[in-house]
């Protein structure tokens, strides 16, 4: 537990502040409320780590922006509206705790406004996950290989973006993990890559046949640039920049580039209204639900392939397959 009598110059991490707050909640609220806040703030930590690549054990709490509450509301669309509201309330109360303890100076009124603007009302039946739209985006990405171009660099970007989107969708890689891949990380015969993932843990990631084929097309088109790099092929980035700043050099993509690729292709394929609904991390949701559907809801298989340390993280995706039950029901009864 963080010592809250420390001076303002002392650095308190996000995790430390959350633990202190949960300790206080445990002393003053019911066990059920305490557990709900624990789940809500655990989900908030997952969002910060997975979407923002923030190490909550090290990141200073005074640097945590209130904007994250609005973005967290979007992240929570995989839950029911009631759960979303509970978890957002837990985060709001946490920010109020930060203000009261002078650990940071958040704008509470603005946080409440963000919640009103972005949170769904309980009982409102809205799509929880834009799976069909991601399918459309993937189809669009596949067709980029045949899109007309005016210059060679544009063709390279199209092939790169196709392989990047297919890799995100079919591997479950986080955006920074995909951007950090080197050519030598892939075993082309086995269709696997050995990576250092979240928590500095080594893991094996499997690639689909279509993602491997797209990668081969991209790297074949990039062969001339790779050959003049002066470096071994194995040490070159799997996904490279192909903008004016990169020129003829092979430079690795940053996570910002990865996010920009997804945003650009979402805008082209689906329109501006889906820019906040589909992010690089949406493909990880897509991957987990695809595994669950294909495996008959086998949580253990999904946990291992998604590299979730805790199966409770995988569990939250299970209800997303309920759409299959709805479809089967209406097919059985409406087609009579």
For 26-70, write each residue's pLDDT tens digit: 888 878 788 889 999 999 999 999 889 999 999 999 999 989 998
**d(Cα 82, Cα 48) in Å, to the nearest integer?**
21
The owner of tokens 């459309």 is 136
Q: Is the pTM of this model over 0.95?
A: no
Query: Which pLDDT belongs to residue 19?
Result: 94
Of 257, 324, 254, 259, whose CA–CA distance to 289 is shortest?
Answer: 324
SS3 at position 192? strand
Domains and CATH numbers, the chain: 14-118 (1.10.150.130), 131-324 (1.10.443.10)
Which has the closest alpha carbon to 283: 50, 3, 45, 24? 50
| Buried/exposed code over 91-116 (b: 16+ C-beta within 10 A; e: otherwise) | bbbbbebbeebebbebeeeebeebbe
pLDDT at 330: 56
pLDDT at 36: 87
What stretch of H or E contains 49?
Answer: helix 31-51
Answer whether 138's CB lies under 8 Å from 166's CB: yes
Helix (H, G, I), strand (E, B) or coil at 226: helix
Question: How high is the pLDDT of residue 139?
Answer: 97
Which DSSP category does 276 fall into? Answer: T
Share of the chain above pLDDT 90, in %: 53
87 and 40 in contact (C-beta within 8 Å)? yes
**Nearest-5° angle of CA 317, CA 310, CA 128?**
15
Question: CA 92 to CA 81: how far, in whole Å?
Answer: 16
| Residue pLDDT tens, the chain, 336 long | 444 444 343 579 999 999 999 999 988 887 878 888 999 999 999 999 988 999 999 999 999 998 999 899 888 887 888 888 889 999 999 999 999 999 999 999 999 998 888 887 655 343 346 889 999 999 999 999 999 998 889 999 999 999 999 999 999 999 999 999 999 999 999 999 988 766 677 888 999 999 999 999 999 999 999 999 889 999 999 999 998 777 778 999 999 999 999 999 999 999 999 998 899 989 988 898 888 888 877 888 888 888 887 777 777 676 555 555 455 555 545 544
Taking only the tens place, the pLDDT of each residue in 273-313 is 999 889 998 998 889 888 888 887 788 888 888 888 777 77
> For all residues of the chain together, what is the average pLDDT?
85
Query: CB–CB of 40/86 below 8 Å?
Result: yes
Exposed, middle or buried by CB within 10 Å (0-12, 13-18, 19+), for 75?
buried
Nearest to 22 by CA among 99, 78, 90, 76: 90
Instruction: From 50, 80, 43, select the one nearest 282 (Cα to Cα).
Output: 50
- The single residue listed with the structure tokens 């990047």 is 164
């Amino acid at each position: 537990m963080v010592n809250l009598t420390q001076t303002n110059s002392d650095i308190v991490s996000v995790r430390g502040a959350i633990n202190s707050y949960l300790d206080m909640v445990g002393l003053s609220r019911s066990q059920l409320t305490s557990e709900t806040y624990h789940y809500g703030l655990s989900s908030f930590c997952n969002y910060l780590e997975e979407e923002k690549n923030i190490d909550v054990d090290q990141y200073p709490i005074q640097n945590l922006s209130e904007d994250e509450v609005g973005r967290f509301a979007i992240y929570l669309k995989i839950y029911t509206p009631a759960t979303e509201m509970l978890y957002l309330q837990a985060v709001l109360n946490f920010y109020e705790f930060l203000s009261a303890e002078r650990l940071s100076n958040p704008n509470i009124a603005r946080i409440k406004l963000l919640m009103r603007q972005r949170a769904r009302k309980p009982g409102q039946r809205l799509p929880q996950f834009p799976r069909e739209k991601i399918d459309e985006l993937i189809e669009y990405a596949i067709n980029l290989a045949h899109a007309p171009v005016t210059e060679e660099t544009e063709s390279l970007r199209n092939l790169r973006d196709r392989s990047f989107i297919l890799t995100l969708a079919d591997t479950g890689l986080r955006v920074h993990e995909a951007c950090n891949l080197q050519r030598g990380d892939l075993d082309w015969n086995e269709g696997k890559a050995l990576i250092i993932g979240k928590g500095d843990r080594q893991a094996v990631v499997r690639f689909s046949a279509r993602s491997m084929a797209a990668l081969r097309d991209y790297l074949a088109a990039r062969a001339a640039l790779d050959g003049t790099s002066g470096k071994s092929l194995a040490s070159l980035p799997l996904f490279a920049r192909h903008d004016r700043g990169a020129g003829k050099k092979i430079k690795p993509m940053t996570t910002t580039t990865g996010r920009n690729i997804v945003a650009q292709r979402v805008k082209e394929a689906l329109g501006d209204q889906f820019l906040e609904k589909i992010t690089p991390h949406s493909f990880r949701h897509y991957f987990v639900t695809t595994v669950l559907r294909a495996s008959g809801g086998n949580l253990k298989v999904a946990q291992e392939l998604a590299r979730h340390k805790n199966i409770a993280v995988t569990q939250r995706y299970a209800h997303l397959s309920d759409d299959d039950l709805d479809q089967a029901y209406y097919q059985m009864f409406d087609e009579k």
